[in-house]
Chains A and B, each alone.
Chain A
Amino acid sequence: MYIKKVVCISPQDTIKDNFPQTGIIEFDALQCPAIEPDYAGLIPRGLLRRMGKAIRMGVGAGLPLLTGNKDIEGIIIGTANGGLEDCIKFLNQIVKYNEGTLTPTNFVQSTPNSLGGTLALMGQNSGYNVTHVNKGLSFESALMDAQMLIEAGDAKTLLVGCIEEISTYNTNIYTMDGFLKKEALLSSELLNSETKGTINGEGATMFVVDQNGENALARIIDTGQITHPNHEDLLECLNALLRRNQLEMSDLDAVLLGYNGDQSTDHWYKQLSHSFDEGTGLYSYKNLVGDFPTVSGFALFLVLKLIELGEIPKEMILKGSNRSLGKVLIYNHHRGVQHGFILVESLA
Chain B
Amino acid sequence: MQILKKRVFVTGYGIVSAIGNNVEENLNSLRAGKTGIKKANHFQSKYVDEFSFGEVNLSNQELIDEIQFEDSSDLTRTDLFAIKAFQEALKYSGLELNEIANAETALLSASTVGGMCLTDQMYNDANLVIDRPSPYLAAYWNAAHTILLAKQYGIKGFTDTINTACSSSANTIMMGSRLIKAGRANRAIVGGTDSLAKFTVNGFNSLQILSSKACQPFDRDRSGITLGEGAAYLVLESEDVIGDRPLLAEVSGYGNSNDAFHPSSLSEDAIGVCAAMNKALQSAKISPDQIDYINAHGTATPNNDQVELTGIQKLFNRIPAYNSTKSYTGHTLAAAGSIEAIYSILSLKHQELYPSLQCKIPIEPFNQFPIKEFKKDQKLKYAMSNSFGFAGNCTSLILSKVS
How far does the Cβ of B59 sit from chain A's closest Cβ, in whole Å? 22
Q: Are A151 and B391 in contact (CB under 8 A)?
A: no
What CA separation (Å) do A149 and B161 show in the bound complex? 18
Name which of A104, A123, A144, A244 has the most chain B CB atoms within 10 A of its CB. A104
Is the C-beta of A263 less than 8 angstroms from some C-beta in chain B?
no
Known: A90-B203, A91-B116. A117 touches B390 (CB 8 A): yes
Q: Which of B204-252 contact A (CB under 8 A)?
A: 205-207
Q: Are A126 and B271 in contact (CB under 8 A)?
A: yes
How far does the Cβ of B303 sit from chain A's closest Cβ, in whole Å? 15
Q: Which of B40-63 contact A (CB under 8 A)?
A: 45-47
Please name the residue on chain B nearest to A233 by beta carbon: B156
Known: A126-B259, A152-B181. A144 touches B158 (CB 8 A): yes
Give the residues in chain A near B112, CB-CB below 8 Å: 111
Please name the residue on chain B nearest to A167 by beta carbon: B126
How far does the Cβ of B282 sit from chain A's closest Cβ, in whole Å? 10
Q: Are B199 and A134 in contact (CB under 8 A)?
A: no
Is the C-beta of A225 less than 8 angstroms from some C-beta in chain B?
yes
Known: A91-B119, A134-B143, A135-B147. A113 touches B125 (CB 8 A): no
The number of chain B residues touching the other chain, given as a range, is 35 or more
Return the CB mask of B1-20 against A: 1 if under 8 Å, else 0. 10101000000000000000
Give the residues in chain B near A152, CB-CB below 8 Å: 3, 5, 178, 181-182
Stretch at the interface among A3-11, A34-42, A168-176, A210-218: A168-176
Q: Which of A104-133 contact B (CB under 8 A)?
A: 104, 107-108, 111-114, 116-118, 120-121, 123-133
Give the residues in chain B near A117, CB-CB below 8 Å: 258, 263, 390-393
Is the C-beta of A99 less than 8 angstroms from some C-beta in chain B?
yes
How far does the Cβ of A130 sit from chain B's closest Cβ, in whole Å? 6
Is the C-beta of A186 less than 8 angstroms from some C-beta in chain B?
no
What CA separation (Å) do A81 and B287 show in the bound complex? 40
Q: Are A127 and B120 in contact (CB under 8 A)?
A: no
Q: Are A99 and B138 in contact (CB under 8 A)?
A: no
Q: Are A137 and B159 in contact (CB under 8 A)?
A: yes
Q: Are A173 and B205 in contact (CB under 8 A)?
A: no
Q: Which of B258-303 contact A (CB under 8 A)?
A: 258-264, 271-272, 275
Known: A91-B122, A135-B161, A237-B156. A227 touches B151 (CB 8 A): yes
Please name the residue on chain A nearest to B391 by beta carbon: A117
What CA separation (Å) do A117 and B142 show in the bound complex? 18
Is the C-beta of B380 less than 8 angstroms from some C-beta in chain A?
no
Known: A113-B165, A177-B137. A128 touches B257 (CB 8 A): yes
Please name the residue on chain A nearest to B146 by beta carbon: A134
Q: Are B162 and A132 in contact (CB under 8 A)?
A: yes
Q: Which of B172-208 contact A (CB under 8 A)?
A: 175, 178-179, 181-182, 184, 198-199, 201-203, 205-207
Return the CB mask of A70-104 against B: 1 if under 8 Å, else 0. 00000100001110000110111111001101111
Known: A117-B393, A131-B162, A151-B3. A125 touches B258 (CB 8 A): yes
What CA separation (Å) do A80 and B206 show in the bound complex? 25
Is the C-beta of B398 less than 8 angstroms from some C-beta in chain A?
no
What CA separation (Å) do A153 and B259 show in the bound complex? 22
Q: Are B156 and A172 in contact (CB under 8 A)?
A: no
Give the residues in chain A near B317, CB-CB below 8 Å: none
Q: Are B205 and A102 in contact (CB under 8 A)?
A: yes
Q: Are A169 and B258 in contact (CB under 8 A)?
A: no
Contact of B126 among A124, A172, A338 (CB under 8 A): A172
Give the residues in chain B near A82, CB-CB below 8 Å: 163
Is the C-beta of A222 less than 8 angstroms from some C-beta in chain B?
yes
Q: Are A107 and B182 in contact (CB under 8 A)?
A: no
Is the C-beta of A317 less than 8 angstroms from some C-beta in chain B?
no
What CA separation (Å) do A331 and B390 show in the bound complex? 34
Q: Are B1 and A125 in contact (CB under 8 A)?
A: no
Q: Are B147 and A338 in contact (CB under 8 A)?
A: yes
Q: Are B160 and A176 in contact (CB under 8 A)?
A: no
Q: Are A129 and B156 in contact (CB under 8 A)?
A: no
Is the C-beta of B92 less than 8 angstroms from some C-beta in chain A?
no
Is the C-beta of A272 less than 8 angstroms from some C-beta in chain B?
no
Is the C-beta of A157 less than 8 angstroms from some C-beta in chain B?
no
What CA separation (Å) do A170 and B372 show in the bound complex? 49
Q: Are B146 and A98 in contact (CB under 8 A)?
A: no
Q: Are A177 and B120 in contact (CB under 8 A)?
A: no
Q: Which of A190-239 contact B (CB under 8 A)?
A: 222, 225-229, 233, 236-237
What CA separation (Å) do A113 and B342 show in the bound complex? 25
Is the C-beta of B103 less than 8 angstroms from some C-beta in chain A?
yes
Give the residues in chain A near B259, CB-CB below 8 Å: 120, 126
Give the residues in chain A near B116, CB-CB below 8 Å: 87, 91
Is the C-beta of B355 less than 8 angstroms from some C-beta in chain A?
no
Known: A91-B116, A128-B256. A135 touches B141 (CB 8 A): yes
Q: Which 7 A-B pairs have the closest CB atoms?
A: A117-B391, A129-B258, A107-B203, A169-B126, A120-B258, A135-B143, A104-B206
Q: What 13 additional pairs, Cβ within 8 angstroms, besides A91-B122, A103-B206, A134-B161?
A: A81-B141, A90-B203, A99-B198, A104-B264, A114-B391, A117-B390, A126-B260, A130-B175, A130-B256, A134-B162, A152-B182, A225-B158, A237-B103
The 30 sampled A-B contact pairs (Cβ below 8 Å) are A81-B141, A88-B123, A88-B127, A90-B202, A91-B119, A94-B202, A95-B123, A98-B46, A99-B46, A99-B47, A107-B203, A108-B207, A117-B393, A120-B392, A121-B260, A121-B392, A125-B260, A126-B260, A127-B258, A129-B392, A131-B393, A133-B162, A135-B142, A138-B143, A141-B158, A141-B161, A177-B137, A228-B147, A236-B103, A337-B147
* Residues of A near any B CB (own CB < 8 A): 75, 80-82, 87-88, 90-95, 98-99, 101-104, 107-108, 111-114, 116-118, 120-121, 123-135, 137-138, 141, 144-145, 148-149, 151-153, 169, 172-173, 176-177, 222, 225-229, 233, 236-237, 240, 244-245, 337-338
